[in-house]
Chain A
Amino acid sequence: MLRDITIGQYYSVPSIIHKMDPRFKIIASMLYLVSLFLINQIIAYTAVVVFIGIVIKLSKVPVNFIMKGLKPVFMLIIFAFVINVFLTTGTGDPLIHAGFIKIYPEGVERAFFMAIRLILLIIGTSLLTLTTSPIELTDGIEYLLSPFKRIGMPAHELAMMMTIALRFIPTLLEETDKIMKAQMARGADFESGNLMNRAKALIPLLVPLFISAFRRADELAMAMEARCYRGGEGRTRMKVLKYSSRDLYGSAIMIIYLTTCIIL
């Protein structure tokens, strides 16, 4: 069960969006986020919905798969909606006036837009992780951060740390599972008692896990050095990120999209 965990929920299908340069996708997602906060007209929202709809269609990721990603934040959306409905004060007459509760038409409108904005935001960012594998994402981040190397930003090191973390998540999960079973076989109880007791029960799990993680880190460092690793300098990559015509069209569409958002 633990073996099947995927980080960042990558959905692997061949599509134009999947094949795009990760650097372009990261920048485009950022611009998209900015655009969501520029708009406040219903027509602009329609434009954004149409745009994201087309992107989803092109990415070949099933819509209900994306909707699943909304579930954990559903409560947050409801909360934002309710707060906005009740706390916005308008200029005209309130729609409903019962005791201290006053609901203005502006409030409803604003709450509605707020909810849509949040939903669009989450869909947009999850599309990035759904269509970009963790490796590409790391590569993209490394590239985008490399200009900041001059002011001391360790871009390569950050990317390497992310890769190693991704690589070791399943290994450490498996190990946790193993230690837990071993402790349970010797009578450890991880499931009953109050919060304090459960936290205490985790200590015999965490201590061996940490020790083993340090030992692994030590061995990994040795193995990496044995394979001539000496930091990012002078290192080349097997897969070079290429800015293709696909990304050029993408950029053009992004520019059109942004100007539309600004005009509207």
Chain B
Amino acid sequence: MIKTENLFFRYADEKEENKYALKNINLHIKDGEFVVIIGHNGSGKSTLSKLFNGIYNPTSGKIYIDGLDTSDEELIWEIRKRAGMVFQNPDNQLVATIVEEDVAFGPENLGLPSSEIRKRVDEALESVKMSEFKRKPPHHLSGGQKQRVAIAGILAMKPKCIIFDEPTAMLDPSGRKEVIQTIRQLNKEEHMTIIHVTHYMDEAVHADRIIVMDEGEIVLEGTPKQVFSKVDALKQIGLDVPQVTLLSYELNKLGFEISLENLTVDEMVSNLCQLK
């Protein structure tokens, strides 16, 4: 679905000659995969996600979305149709004054017939469970609900892949939960390719693959179990691990034999019960 080759990126207004926001990124994301990109502020994770959507162009190297080169001006709309993007601030990405009008914005831009748009809008609102709010103005919704409307707006364009750029950073815990559930459901039930950029470790637990970024480079890559068991490496670049993993790590240090691959409370419990 997404492939990057020797990708380098430097912001146009960057003064220092050799300061790259992204350095030598080589990625291959498969169809239907759920990938979480994690890193602290300034690690280049958001920049990378904006490159996937053709908002920025690589300084050198190539990105292919579904085989299409993002640096080709003529393909840009086709790429954005296939790889939708949800941003951080729910307020700043809703365009219309009524929920369903906003969801219709994307398909309207694609020039679809109005009956088709109607159908897609209803389906999209249904899959994020926002149908009952379709006639409401966005400013009467909570943060989590607004973000779900934004997701519906992307879904209505029927992309193959959705890129989430820190969609939960501005939400309260219940809003975060709503959005994370929606994202997981899209991946599981509709087999959508998901790229989720975040700095919350616990949101990464359910991913197929985690990519850890630091200083514009990929420093760790693997399944959640593989990545989180490297507690020292993560701590070194200033990232936290999920609480359960941290507990295992601390117990391990005290001499208990507990696997570092525990990610959920259930796994932890069964592991603890097996201790002699």
Contacts and interface: CB of A to CB of B under 8 A. Distances in A.
Q: Please determine whether chains A and B interact with each other in the same assembly.
A: yes
Interface of A: 3, 134-135, 163-164, 166-167, 170-171, 174, 216, 219-220, 222-230, 234-240
B96 A228 contact: no
Interface of B: 53, 55, 77, 80-81, 84-85, 87, 89, 91-98, 100-101, 104-114, 117-118, 121, 137-140, 153-154, 157
Contacts of B98: 135
Given A170-B137, A230-B109, A239 B95 contact: no
Nearest to A12: B135
Closest 7 CB pairs of A and B: A223-B93, A238-B104, A219-B92, A170-B139, A238-B117, A228-B109, A227-B106
Given A174-B139, A226-B80, A228-B157, 4 more contacts: A3-B140, A134-B97, A235-B108, A238-B107
A85 B91 CA distance: 54
A147 to B, nearest CB: 21
A240 B114 contact: yes
Contacts of A171: 91, 139
Nearest to B78: A228
A227 B139 contact: no
Contacts of A227: 80, 84, 105-106, 109, 153-154, 157
A167 B138 contact: yes
A222 B55 contact: yes
22 contacts: A135-B96, A135-B98, A166-B97, A167-B94, A174-B139, A219-B89, A219-B93, A220-B95, A223-B85, A225-B55, A226-B53, A226-B87, A227-B80, A227-B154, A228-B81, A228-B106, A234-B111, A236-B111, A238-B100, A238-B104, A238-B107, A238-B118
Nearest to B135: A12
Nearest to A217: B92
Given A227-B80, A238-B107, A238-B121, A219 B114 contact: no
B93 A220 contact: yes
Given A167-B95, A167-B96, A236 B112 contact: yes
Contacts of B89: 216, 219
B111 to A, nearest CB: 5
A178 B42 CA distance: 28
A166 B97 CA distance: 7
Contact of A235 (B91, B101, B111, B140): B111
A228 B110 CA distance: 7
Contacts of A222: 55, 87
Contacts of B94: 167
Contacts of A174: 139
Contacts of A166: 97
B92 A223 contact: yes
B121 to A, nearest CB: 6
B70 to A, nearest CB: 13
B87 A223 contact: yes
B92 A238 contact: no
A164 B117 contact: no
A219 B108 CA distance: 20
B95 A219 contact: no
Contacts of B113: 236
A164 B100 CA distance: 15
Contact of B55 (A134, A226, A234, A236): A226
